[in-house]
Structure 1
C-alpha cells in the first residue's frame, strides 16, 4: 500500500548541491539539480529509498508503474533499449530496462522563493513525521561543494571517427532511397575512474554548467550523472496537461560575443535545422495523440533559441490534454523513446540506429520523478554518463549523437558530437582526448 500521510515543513534556503554532497555515499543517493531557470524552478535531494524495483519490463510493459506503492515520491529510469526493442528485437542488455525507487524522505528546493520544503511520507502520521525529521537532519550535514581534480585519466572513443563518418553516410543514403527521413546516430566514449574517485565527483565538476534537468542517481553498483537540458514530458493529473519540448538543431558557443551571436543567428535561420526540428515536432504530435483527447494536441512554440554554456539549441513545445484514466505508465508507453533521439518514422529509425550502434542503455532513455500529487517530470537522458562498479573501481560510458537528415554532411555531424560531449569530457578527464 502506498504511503497515505505526507508531512511538510518549510526551512531557509540551502545550496542543494551542498546538501547532496553530504549524502553522496548514502544508499540510493539522489540529486535532481536544476539551474533555477524558467524550466528548473525545483531541485530535489533524497537518499535511503524504502522500496526499489530493478529489472526487465513485464510482458504488459510498465505495469510496475501502476502499482500503488510507486504512485508518489518515486524516481525512475527507463532505458532507451527497453523502448526500442519492438523495432530492434532482442539485444544484449547493458542496463536494466526499468529502475524505480520510492523515497519516504525528500528535500525540495524552491529556487524562486529561496526556501526548502522538507517532505516526509509514511503509512501513518508518526511514520511521516519520522521521515520528515530524517530529511531535515540532512540540511545540517551539507558539505560545501569543491570541484575535485579530473576523476579519470582517459576518455577513449569506442570506435574510430571514420566509423561514425561511414554510419552517417549510410543513413544519408538510406534517406535518399526513401527508407526514412531522419535518424539520430551516436558515438560513445568509455573509461575508468581513478582509484578513490566517485561518480559524484563528475557532478561537482559540472556545477558551473548547471542544466534544467541535471541529475545524479546511484542504486547499488550503478550510477548516472546527467546534465540534460531537454524535457521529455511533464504531466499534471489535476488538469491532465501534457507538455514535451524536443530539441533539434545545434551550434557551438563562441567566447567572442559577436561570433557567438552570429552562430545563434545562423542556427535560427538554418532551413536544415528548422526542418529537422519540425520532423520531430510532428512525430511528438503523433505520439501524444495516442493518449490525448481529440483536437487537444497543439504546438505552442516553434524553433525557440535556447543558449547553454557550450551550445545553442532550437527547441519547440508541444502540449496536449490527456484522456481520462491516463497516468505515467500509459503516457510513457505511448511516447517512449523520445522522438528527438530516435528519428522519423520512429520505428524504422530505431532499426537503423541498431544497425550502427551497440545498445545504448540509459543514454537517450528517460529519468522521471513522480510527486505526491501525481505530477510527473521526465527528462531526456542526453549529456549523460553512466557508471558501473566492479572490483572496487567505477567504469563509465558517455554518448553524444546528431540528427541525420538528407543533406547532412558527415564531417559536420561528427563535429557536432564533439561539441555535445565537450562538457562531460572536461568533467571526467579535463582535456584528454
Structure 2
C-alpha cells in the first residue's frame, strides 16, 4: 500500500503475553493482547519503532500524518479524547498529547484461532524487510513466562468526592429535562502512583486473567497506557470496504452466585432504560458512519446483545456500512471520533456538557488503533484504561469510569455503575 517491502513467515505458537514480557524493557514496547474470542482472534507484539510522532494531530485534517507514507501502514496510534472534543469544548489545558503514532518494522501477529505466529518484517527494500523479520523472530526465543506480581500501586484516590459525581448526574438529568440534550456520558477519575521499581507492565500482568478483546500495553518514552477494553470503536476492511462499530451502552455487575449473575444479565437484557440508552448511541453511530459510507449501506447488524465479561455484563449493538470509494482509516476516524458511546447525543452538545463537569480526559475514551500493511484498521474505545506518566523516576497513573446519563437516571445507581466498571483496574493496581 505504501511501496514498502514486507516479508511474512510463520512460526509455532508462543504465548503473546510471554513474548511481550521479554520485550517490556526495550524501546517502545507494544502488546495488543486479545482474549482469543470471536472478536479477538489476533494479538500483536512489537518493539523498537523506527518512526514516532508524539504531539498534535496535524495542522490540516486531524489525522494528516496517517495519509503520509511514513505512517500509512504498519502503524499503531493513540488519539486522545480531547483532540476530538476540542471543536465543542474550545481550547483546554492538555493533559496528554493529542496523537501518538509509532511505525514498527518488526512485528509478531498471533493467530489464536489457528495457533500460529506470523513474523512480519518491513523495510524500504527486501533486504531491510528480511532483517526486520529476523529481529522479530528472535523475540520469540526471548519470551519470559509471566508471573503475576504483587499489586504495584501504593494509592488509588478519587479526584473528587462521590457527592460531586451525584451532583453532576443530577445536573445532566435536569439539562435533559430542559431539552438541552438526550444523553451524556459523565465520568469519575482516580489517580495515584506505582511503588518504586514497579512499572505499567506489572498492571498488564495482573489483568491477564481478565483478558478482553482489546487489551493493550504500550509505552513510548515516559508515557504508557494499559487497557482492558471490551469495546470496538471501528474496524475497516479495505478489500470489502466494510466498516463496523460495536457501541456498548448498558451495564450490570457480575455476581459470584450463578443464579444471581444470570438474573442480572436477564435484567440488563430486559431493561427499557438501558435499551433506550443503547438505541440512542446506535442512531448516533449510524449518523457518523453515514458521512463516509455509501448511501443506504449503513445498517444495524445486531441490537441489544448481552456480553458477559469478568466483572460486568454489557449491552452491545453492531452498526455496519460500506465505505465510499477512496475512504481510508484517517477519513473514518475524522468522521466518527470521539466514539458516540462515551460522549452522548447530540454529540457536540454532550461534549460541551461533559467539559462543564470534568477536567480533560486525556487518553481515556480516546482510541487505540492499529493499521496493517493492507490498510486494514482495528480501533478500540479506551475504556477500562489507565494512563501513566513517569515523573522524577516514578510512574503516576490516572484512570476514569463513566456512565451514560439519560432522563430517568438515578444518581446513586450511576455512581454504583462506575464502581463496577473500575473494579478490575482498581484491583490490578492496588489489590482487592
- In 2, Cα distance between equivalents of 1:213 and 1:256: 27
Residues 156-171 of structure 1: matches in 2 within 5 Å? Answer: 156-171=157-172
SS in 1 for 2:383: coil
- The separation in 2 between residues aligned to 1:382 and 1:220, in whole angstroms, is 22
Q: Which residue of 2 aligns with 1:28?
A: 28
Q: What is the 5 A alignment of 1:349-388?
A: 349-388=350-389
Structure 1: runs of 5+ lacking an equivalent: none
Local SS of the residue matching 1:131: helix
For residue 69 of structure 1, report the CA deviation from its aligned partner: 1.5
Residue in 2 that maps onto 1:264: 265
Q: CA deviation at 1:4?
A: 1.6
- Residue aligning to 2:187: 186
Counterpart mapping for 1:302-381 below 5 A: 302-381=303-382
Unaligned runs of 5+ in 2: none
Distance 2:3 2:224 in 1: 26
Corresponding pairs, count: 431
Give how far 1:59 is off.
3.0
Q: Does residue 1:208 correspond to 2:209, yes or no?
A: yes
Q: How does 1:70-81 map to 2 (within 5 A)?
A: 70-81=71-82
Match of 1:89? 90
- SS where residue 76 of structure 2 aligns? strand
Tell me how far 1:57 sits from its aligned partner. Answer: 2.1
Partner of 1:424: 425
| Alpha-carbon separation, structure 2, partners of 1:248 and 1:57 | 28
* Separation of aligned partners in 1, 2:393 and 2:422: 26
Name the CA distance, whole Å, in 2 between partners of 1:25 and 1:357.
34
Q: 1:3: Cα distance to partner?
A: 5.6
1:73-222 pair list within 5 angstroms: 73-222=74-223
Distance in 2 between the 1:95 and 1:328 partners? Answer: 22
Q: Does 1:300 align with 2:297?
A: no
TM-aligned CA deviation for residue 98 of structure 1: 0.5
Q: Matched residues in 2 for 1:152 and 1:280: separation?
A: 35
SS of match in other structure, 2:428: helix
TM-score of the aligned structures, taking structure 2 as reference length: 0.99
3-state SS of the aligned residue for 1:151? coil
Q: Provide the rounded CA distance (Å) in 2 between the counterparts of 1:236 and 1:70.
A: 18
Within 2, Cα distance between the matches of 1:134 and 1:6?
14
Runs (4+) off by over 2 Å: none
Distance 2:100 2:357 in 1: 26
CA distance in 2: counterparts of 1:23 and 1:58, whole angstroms:
31
Using structure 1 for the length normalisation, give the TM-score: 0.99
